[in-house]
Amino acid sequence: MPLELPAHGRPWPELRDEMAAMRGNDLDWKHGRHGAYVWYASDELEDVLREAFGMFLVENGLGMRAFPSIARMENETLAMVRSLLHGDDETAGIFTSGGTESIFLGVLAMREWARHERPGIVRPEIVAPHSAHPALNKAAHLQGLTVRRVPVGPDFRADPAALEAAVNQNTIGMYASAPTYSLGMVDPIEALGPIAERHGLWLHVDACVGGILSPFVRDSGYAVPAFDFAIPGVSSISADLHKSGFAAKPASTVSFRTRELREFARYTFDDWPSGVYSSLTFTGTRPGGAIAAAWAAMNFLGQEGYREIAAASMRAKQKTIDGLAAIEGVKVHGAPPLYAFSWAASGVDMGAVAGAMARRGFMCGQTTSPAGIHFMATPVHEAAADAYAAAAAESIAEARSSGAVGKAAAYN
Ligand SMILES: Cc1ncc(COP(=O)(O)O)c(C=O)c1O
């Protein structure tokens, strides 16, 4: 490994070959050997993303005066997301670098709004189900807020009564998911909206995984609980373009019910030698390519393309579940309505099963409560479903006969 910048540059073809070789031990995501990390639909879409990203590789999303092209693509992308989330003319969004930044900005706006609306609160708290993504705690940690996590209900969804019971005089907001990362549950946002309204709370919906594609899952005939701005009481929604929007990383959105609410995410500063700095994002310089690729993905796919991806993802999920169901003692946790789910086998350590799956080329994330293996179905997982089920059957048998205990669950 070279430890310092080489004295002389090397030719690109040589570097390209070296980089291609480095990929040799990477996960085979094109053939559905991954349970997370990659949202890939087709070579055709990959080409569009690469070309669109490349076209705007150098442009900077910080400088909208210089790049009206980026400003236009950003505004149009946010408008498309707004319509998917049942927003209206008042709804206003921010294009961000990912779910974590979107959640950070949702929490920032929540905090600043509460300072304005309820200035008496000095130790603000957010109530959330135990299933919330750690990005919530990261955002709260960085911004001096406390998160109170409460147990989920027997269906693994947020328990509205338990959340309401956790509300106290310091609570400024509630948080729920559509769906949760671990078990793929869509929390009962319809029951949480009225609670938020009753207690004067901000309600953030983390639809990082479901925001873009679930309308098309619904169109394909599946029942998906409502979770967006159609529900009164929802203040902000994070929805990732680089997940179920099948855009290039880094790309996500956070949308606010009104332009006024979005203003609470703005940071303004002018005590330095270059005038007013006013920003709605955490990042300063932003990749123009990511905005261009997201715009291109949405216009290339259109509703028809997303409907096809949704249908293929749901077929992949069902085929994977059918294959797993044929193995003795295997069950899916709860009734996940979208493409994410978790499964477990009885009488065996699921860490050991995950380890055995990895030795068979399938990288699996684990869940802890309850113990299981996480799966995020995308179109490529349909063709991989039989091989996945065969690997699962062998892995379970191996783990059962050895009685081994595998590694503890880790998210990344
Ligand atoms: C439900 C949920 N929220 C937030 C995030 C964080 O998103 P990112 O990794 O893009 O920052 C994830 C990532 O998987 C997620 O699944």
Residues 288, 59: Cα–Cα separation, whole Å: 5
Residue 315 lies in a domain: no
Pick the atom of ligand 1 nearest to 249's CA: 10
Q: Which residues pair with 330 in a beta bridge?
A: 345
Across the beta sheet with 146-150, what order do the strands follow?
92-96, 252-256, 236-240, 202-206, 171-177, 125-129, 146-150
What dihedral do alpha carbons 330, 335, 339, 342 form, nearest 10°? -40
Instruction: Using pLDDT thresholds of 50, 70 and 90, give the confidence band for residue 412.
Output: confident
Residue 29 lies in a domain: no
Residues 361, 193: Cα–Cα separation, whole Å: 43
Whether ligand 1 lies within 6 angstroms of the CB of 374 is answered as no
Q: In this predicted model, what pLDDT tens digit does every residue of 46-99 receive, in sequence order?
A: 999 999 999 999 999 998 899 999 999 999 999 999 999 999 999 999 999 999
225 has pLDDT over 90: yes
Residue 323 lies in a domain: no
Residue 130 lies in a domain: yes
Closest to 152 measured CA to CA, from 124, 174, 176, 168: 176
pLDDT attached to residue 2: 63
User: To 10 degrees, what angle do helices 135-142 and 99-117 make?
Assistant: 50
Closest to 155 measured CA to CA, from 176, 199, 186: 186
Q: Give the total number of structural domains in the chain.
A: 1
Residues 294, 332: Cα–Cα separation, whole Å: 33
User: To 10 degrees, what angle do helices 381-402 and 288-325 make?
Assistant: 60
Instruction: Using pLDDT thresholds of 50, 70 and 90, give the confidence band for residue 290.
Output: very high
Distance between Cα 10 and ligand 1 center (Å)? 37
Enumerate helices (H) and strands (E) in the chain, giving the number of each.
12, 13
Give residue 143's domain range: 50-298
Instruction: Using pLDDT thresholds of 50, 70 and 90, give the confidence band for residue 1.
Output: low
Residue 41 lies in a domain: no
Instruction: Using pLDDT thresholds of 50, 70 and 90, give the confidence band for residue 209.
Output: very high
Residue 35 lies in a domain: no
Beta strands in 190-298 (DSSP E): 202-206, 236-240, 252-256, 267-269, 277-279
State the DSSP H helix or E strand holding residue 395, giving kind and residue range, or none if neither: helix 381-402
Residue 212 φ then ψ, to 5°: -85, -40
Residue 402 lies in a domain: no
Whether ligand 1 lies within 6 angstroms of the CB of 240 is answered as yes
Distance between Cα 184 and ligand 1 center (Å)? 12
The Cα-based distances of 36 to 103, 129, 375, 387 in angstroms read: 19, 22, 7, 17
Cβ density class 222-259: b for 16+ within 10 Å, e for less:
bebbbbbbebebbbbbbbbbbbbbbbbbbbbbbbbbee
Closest to 102 measured CA to CA, from 246, 228, 245, 206: 206
- Burial classification of residue 274, based on how many CB atoms lie within 10 Å of its CB (0-12 exposed, 13-18 middle, 19 or more buried): exposed
Residues 345, 324: Cα–Cα separation, whole Å: 9
Q: Which of 34, 95, 96, 100 to mutate to test the pocket of ligand 1 (most atoms within 8 A of CB)?
A: 100
Please tell me the residue having the least CA distance from ligand 1 atom 14: 181
The CATH number of the domain holding residue 278 is: 3.40.640.10
Residues 113, 357: Cα–Cα separation, whole Å: 47
Distance between Cα 365 and ligand 1 center (Å)? 14
Residue 196 lies in a domain: yes
What is the percent of the chain with per-residue pLDDT over 90, rounded to a whole number? 94
